[in-house]
Amino acid sequence: MRFIGVDLGTSSVKLLLMDEKGSIKNIVTKEYPISFPKPGWSEQNPEDWYSALCEGLKELVKEEEKSQVKGISFSGQMHGMVILDKEDRVIRPAILWNDGRTGEECDYLNGTIGREKISAYTGNMALTGFTAPKLLWVKKHEPDNFIRINKVMLPKDYIAYCLSGVHSTDVSDASGMLLFNVKEKCWSKEMLDIVGLQEEQMAKVYESFEITGTIKEELAKELGFPLDCKIIAGGGDQAVAAVGTGTVGSGMCNVSLGTSGVVFVASKDYSEIKDNALHVFAHADGKYHFMGVMLSAAASNKWWMDEILKTKKYGEEQEGIIKLGKNNVFFLPYLMGERTPHNNPDARGTFIGMTMDTSREDMTQAVLEGVAFALRDSFEIIKATGLSIDRIRINGGGAKSPLWCKIIANVLNVKVDKINSEEGPAFGAAILAAVGCGEYKTVEEAAGELIQVTETTEPEAEIAALYDKKYEVFKEIYPTLVPVYSKMAQAQD
């Protein structure tokens, strides 16, 4: 049997073909354009996604494999707003997750309506990337488009609709819309009233591993797929990536050390987080998850290497770093502002603690440590919920550095595991397809069988103790600099 995982990203769609044993048979990637109509705006044409998907599907599966395709599932860029009219035509380009036009709408939701109310309705506070503020923006600035809305959809759900003809979404992706009651896993009537929509205008909600329909007959014939090929709901990219790393069940933690940094913890129970310091979303495994996001993780190291040191020899720059826990230079990795836990777009990257004997290696080490400390900020909030975490799984480009893995193991004081797959979201989507088609009983069972730990980095008690003391210093730097960051932002204006 064959299962297809589709990862609808911001710049491209990745398609992965997997057999029932988890063996990856083929991967195809297709790119599409993104537009920036005004500074801070970010849009795409949903029809470009579907065209790229169809091209990719035709390349992905060999002729002799087509009859074996049993199911297709999805991972997708979250929060994007796709609005359809009564004929299911796209009304306007999708406003994406990284679009920043909704500052006034977020101020209205968090301030006028009240962050406590919004959090009570949805489990989260309003952020510019979320879907609800985008809808309020359209309501104010494009009223003719707003009154035409018949269905509100998310990016991956639009291409799933194109395949099946069913308007559906899943609990994990819906959690990032600010229109969804995460605890009860249903649409929030209060939020829909605030935005000015009816529940009939929203897609039907499924668990990520549930079947939403079958592929359209004409499309199945065109692709050569079976007429009963199942369409499985799928999920938001981070939740599905977590499935692809085996971060399911309760207490499992994954750290993604990519351009941004994500601390993702699976939980069997819903729990509210003080001050909305973390996202609380439904998980693709049928339960819940907490997620902290820092904006510049591996991006901080790339900036330091590429722009400051002017080198691509990342490994060589780390060879002379040996005094772990003893560096007196600190780096705050807020090169693009920060999301978790500070939610401050005015924060900036900062070095502090240099002296006349500070070396090139000290500065490089500070960058790696600064990212680890910032990840610990999220990690500490998660531990405060009562979850006990003694090991994490790590992925992303930064995870290729043994030194960085060692620093993170000691800063967080946990074992750091690498696994046998690096495909993340697309692989996770294929796993969801296999579960939906009955190949596995649960997402946990599938992840347990298909994903194995290949390497573990353990913390060292002496180094971990030194980093505990350094982290106490790190925590004091940001609040001290908040007034300075604010004045810097005002000076730029």
Confidence (pLDDT) at 275: 73
Range of lowest pLDDT (38-47, 270-279, 352-361): 270-279
78 is in an annotated binding site: yes
pLDDT at 133 (0 to 100): 97
d(CA 389, CA 405): 17
Task: Give residue 493's pLDDT.
Answer: 58
* Beta pairing, strands 211-214 & 180-181: unpaired
What are the backbone angles phi and psi of residue 292, rounded to the nearest 5°? Answer: -110, 140
Which one has a higher pLDDT value, 120 or 345? 120
Homologous superfamily of the 2-239 domain (CATH): ATPase, nucleotide binding domain (3.30.420.40)
In which band, very low, low, confident or very high, does the pLDDT at 317 lie, cut at 50, 70 and 90? very high
Nearest residue to 71 (alpha-carbon basis) of 59, 63, 61? 61
pLDDT in tens, 6-22: 999 988 999 999 999 99
pLDDT (0 to 100) of residue 107:
94
Q: pLDDT per residue over 426-450, tens digit each?
A: 999 999 999 999 999 999 999 999 9
Band (pLDDT 50/70/90 cuts) for residue 395 is confident
pLDDT attached to residue 462: 97
Mean pLDDT, rounded, of the chain: 94
Question: Looking at residue 246, what is its pLDDT?
Answer: 93
d(C-alpha 464, C-alpha 470), whole Å: 10
* pTM, rounded to two decimals: 0.88
Could you tell me which of 424, 420, 425, 412 has the C-alpha nearest to residue 457? 412
Give the pLDDT confidence score for residue 193 in this predicted structure: 98
Domain definitions of the chain by residue range: 2-239, 246-420+460-492
Q: 10 Å Cβ neighbour count for 257?
A: 24
* 2-239 against 246-420+460-492: fold identical: yes
Whether residue 283 is annotated as binding a ligand: the answer is no
Amino acid at 440: Y
What integer is the mean pLDDT of 108-118?
96
Distance separating alpha carbons of residues 487 and 223, to the nearest angstrom: 58
Identity of residue 89: R
- In three-state secondary structure terms, 289 is strand
Percentage of the chain surpassing pLDDT 70?
100
Does residue 382 or residue 464 have the better pLDDT?
464
pLDDT average, residue stretch 227-241: 95
pLDDT at res. 258: 84
Cα–Cα distance measured from residue 30 to residue 384, given in angstroms and rounded to the nearest whole number: 42
Average pLDDT over residues 359-386: 94
Tell me the C-alpha distance between 331 and 362, whole Å. 10
Residue 288, token pair as written in the block: 């819940």
DSSP-based three-state secondary structure for 386? coil
Q: Which residues of 159-195 are buried (b: 16+ CB within 10 A; e: fewer)?
A: bbbbbbebbbbbbbbbbbbbbbbbbebebbebbbebb
The residues carrying an active-site annotation are: 237
Digit-coded pLDDT (tens) for 250-294: 889 999 888 889 899 999 989 877 777 788 999 999 999 999 988
Fold of 246-420+460-492: Nucleotidyltransferase; domain 5 (3.30.420)
Report CA-CA distances (Å) from 307 to 300, 312, 361, 471.
10, 10, 16, 27
Contact 102, 128 (CB under 8 A): yes
